[in-house]
Homo-oligomer: A and B are copies of this chain.
Amino acid sequence: MGIKDDAVEVRAQGWRTLAALHGSIEAELEKALQASSDLSVVEYTVLDALSRQDGWHMRMQQLARATALSSSATTRLVNRLEDRGLLTRILCADDRRGIYTELTVDGQKLLEEAKPVHDETLASALEAAESMPELEPLVRALGALQV
């Protein structure tokens, strides 16, 4: 019984650590991306996901999954980015319910500008987290994932 209870406690502690690390990284990225490119973290995630996609286009549902957002939030997120000229909607030829989104040249340019900021901020956020005793083990585990 004690063993089982321990497992529960270990999982809960692990989840708290995961949430804390996620929160601190996200906050850092939010600040940095907002300041450098007027992008939120999810907005950056969309641009980045599109740029890493073959053919540079994705459907709304894929985008919703990639950002962990509801489909209504995805609609409005894409609206914002479209209004800023960073991506365009393209009707799906084979499935007329579907809509592809694709980076514009401006979108690619802004992403290229934001990416170094993102990567450097991520590195420094991880470094900062590594110096916090309660986060350190998870940061190390994260770095050792797929070397």
Is the CB of A1 closer than 8 A to any CB of chain B? no
Instruction: Tell me what chain A mostly uses at the interface: helix, strand, loop, or mixed.
Output: helix
Bound CA–CA A37/B14 (angstroms): 23
Q: Which of A18-26, A54-62, A89-97 contacts B (4 or more CB under 8 A)?
A: A18-26
A10: B residues at CB distance < 8 A: 143, 145-147
Bound CA–CA A123/B17 (angstroms): 15
CB-contact partner of A145 in B20, B126, B137, B146, under 8 A: B137
Bound CA–CA A126/B10 (angstroms): 12
A119: B residues at CB distance < 8 A: 8, 11-12
> When A and B form their complex, which 3 residue pairs have the shortest distance between CB atoms, in order from nearest?
A23-B68, A141-B141, A22-B22
